[in-house]
Chains A and B, each alone.
Chain A
């Protein structure tokens, strides 16, 4: 609850504030005298009596306010950092369950092990995210549909937990890359431009995109000022995304190459990394890490700042005067009765 620009953890305590008026209706410490006129008029003691009542009210009020738990609410501040806003597009298709970069046929049969493409991708991405303190990450989940599962966030714990979860279990049978690419652009919709924007695709295959999807993707990516990085996990060491001279005829028409060609033609910054080995994967991540240190507006959340201490200080100082005066009164009354 916010009152006076402060947030209160226990706002109901504020309802007790009228208790601060109690000292003004109080006669517990009055001394009954036979005839009031016998007491000489003493302006100084009137002032003191008023002051004591004020002090008591102040103490009660300050204690109540402190108990209500006032604090300056979380604040978002912007500062300049170095980094990028990165949307992760991790392929969760079945083929990603296969082991990464194995040479022998026997090893290629083991599925879903620690060296599956998905676990390898998790390991390197985890490393990458940890090394980039200022980046903002988002995560797109795609099966038959694509969903912006985790909108852009600075919270490293949640993006790492999402990356980790992605490596669990078996892959999905259907993945729709076109929708995932469109959905990624949607992450930036309505966002102010803070610095470089990247869609980082990690996959072991491409997909045929319909003409309609192609048109939509190229329009959106230009509009949103996005760059594309594609870490292509090669299954075939010989094959390259770019056409070579002594190419196998079978490779001419594979979806990977078509996707690569499409990315090259849409007029946004694009770079493909072909990772055929763990070293190549690490190298690709390191390269992206090196390139993406441009000025970026970073939003930081300042945590709640409790303000009870200030109130307790006031209560303490008032209480000091009040307690002294009551001890002095006691001393005086004791003297008088001796």
Chain B
């Protein structure tokens, strides 16, 4: 389409005048209120020995599950919208220990990150790893926090001592009352678990005879349907997907195995959470000045290269 000279002059004048109005609006239009959905979360990190297994990838390097979990938590907090809250907890032995109640992720990001960096295996107060009970205690304590946070528990699901299917620890709460996600960490292959000593330093690995391969009750039964001759592999660890799935069902959580994108996990957290609406003031300047820029560029684009304008 070729416009006459007169029309081009008219169009240009109109565009320039509109652009002027848009830029003025960008400068002087007041901020508009906008509702954003925010969530309250509590990140629970497994710091038991099995989390020291180096079978996850981060930046092309094999790192320990804990290193990955810490970094993934940090990146997820960065992806959360300002106004959302995040708290931190660790789990060792048979309980979750809340260390910081949920705080606003943007203004307190520095402190959240500082605390997250302190999470090391030597913080563990005992050398066992009872994932289900830890999830239950996290839920129980989350109820005492106002507003109740969504639990995001990063764990490999390794139960030590192991639990028998028919003797699953009883969950006293109502499934789904506290929302949450189990985030599975770790690979699929069974690998040796580094063993930490009292001081938290790694000293070799857990040997086959160092750990229990059956739960206490089953191992004392003569009945072979309970005391089965299962393979003795509890000293090795992988991500226990089936177990995490079962546990998630029991407490009404979602299970996410080895997420790759923090933003995606934040979306999943948002979906699982009972979100709150927060009104924020939103400056439209970027939209207005962007539109003005596009209009001006329309005038100067080299149409001549596409269609010859001559008159």
Where the two chains meet, the residues of A that have a C-beta atom closer than 8 Å to any C-beta of B are 19, 22-23, 25-29, 31-32, 56, 59-60, 63-64, 66-67, 69, 141, 143-145, 147-151, 153, 155, 157-158, 161-162, 164-165, 168-170, 172-174, 308-309, 312-313, 315-316, 319-320, 322-323, 326-327, 329-330, 333-334, 337
Contacts and interface: CB of A to CB of B under 8 A. Distances in A.
Contact of A161 (B20, B101, B285): B101
A237 to B, nearest CB: 30
Interface stretch (B23-31, B212-220, B255-263): B23-31
20 contacts: A22-B297, A26-B302, A28-B299, A28-B304, A66-B285, A69-B286, A145-B199, A147-B118, A150-B100, A150-B111, A153-B111, A158-B100, A161-B87, A165-B100, A168-B101, A168-B145, A169-B95, A174-B125, A312-B23, A319-B19
Nearest to B144: A168
B311 A32 contact: yes
Contacts of B299: 28
B100 to A, nearest CB: 5
A148 B311 CA distance: 78
A64 B293 contact: yes
Contact of A326 (B13, B87, B104, B310): B13
A312 B285 contact: yes
Contacts of B199: 145
A69 B285 CA distance: 10
Contacts of B98: 165, 168-169
List the 5 closest pairs (A to B, CB-CB), nearest first.
A158-B111, A330-B13, A22-B300, A161-B101, A323-B16
A17 to B, nearest CB: 12
A141 B16 contact: no
A316 B290 CA distance: 13
B111 A330 contact: no
Contact of B108 (A56, A149, A157, A313): A157
A141 B26 CA distance: 50
**A27, A32, A323, A329 — which one has the most chain B CB atoms within 10 A of its CB?**
A323
Interface stretch (B3-11, B152-160, B187-195, B268-276): B3-11
B118 A330 contact: no
B114 A151 contact: yes
Given A56-B300, A312-B26, A165 B87 contact: yes
A145 B290 CA distance: 55
A315 B23 contact: yes
Nearest to A63: B293
B118 A148 contact: yes
B168 interface: no
Given A149-B99, A312-B23, A326 B12 contact: yes
A197 B104 CA distance: 28
A181 B311 CA distance: 88
Contacts of A170: 95
B73 to A, nearest CB: 16
Contact of B9 (A155, A316, A320, A330): A330
B165 interface: no
Contacts of B293: 60, 63-64, 67
Given A26-B300, A169-B95, A323 B20 contact: yes
**B17, B111, B122, B302 — which one has the most chain A CB atoms within 10 A of its CB?**
B111
A125 to B, nearest CB: 14
B123 A143 contact: yes
B97 A309 contact: no
Nearest to A24: B300
Main secondary structure of the interface of B (DSSP, over half): helix
Contacts of B302: 22, 25-26
Main secondary structure of the interface of A (DSSP, over half): helix
A63 B6 contact: no
Given A157-B108, A161-B102, A173-B125, A149 B286 contact: no
B16 A327 contact: yes
A64 B301 CA distance: 16
Given A28-B309, A161-B100, A168-B144, A67 B125 contact: no
A309 B24 CA distance: 11
B108 A327 contact: no
Contacts of B27: 309, 312-313, 316
A323 B292 CA distance: 12
A41 to B, nearest CB: 22
**B95, B141, B289 — which one has the most chain A CB atoms within 10 A of its CB?**
B289
B297 A19 contact: yes
A179 to B, nearest CB: 11
A334 B95 CA distance: 82
Contact of A165 (B24, B101, B120): B101
Contacts of A69: 286
Contacts of A64: 293
Given A145-B123, A149-B115, A150-B100, A320 B110 contact: no
Nearest to B142: A168
Given A32-B310, A161-B100, A313-B27, 12 more contacts: A26-B302, A66-B26, A141-B123, A153-B110, A162-B101, A165-B87, A169-B141, A322-B20, A323-B17, A329-B12, A333-B5, A333-B9
A148 B300 CA distance: 60
B296 A60 contact: yes
A327 B115 contact: no
B103 interface: yes
B20 A145 contact: no
Contacts of A28: 8, 12, 299-301, 303-304, 309
A139 B290 CA distance: 47
B16 A326 contact: yes
A151 B114 CA distance: 7
B19 A60 contact: no
Contacts of A174: 125
A31 B6 CA distance: 10
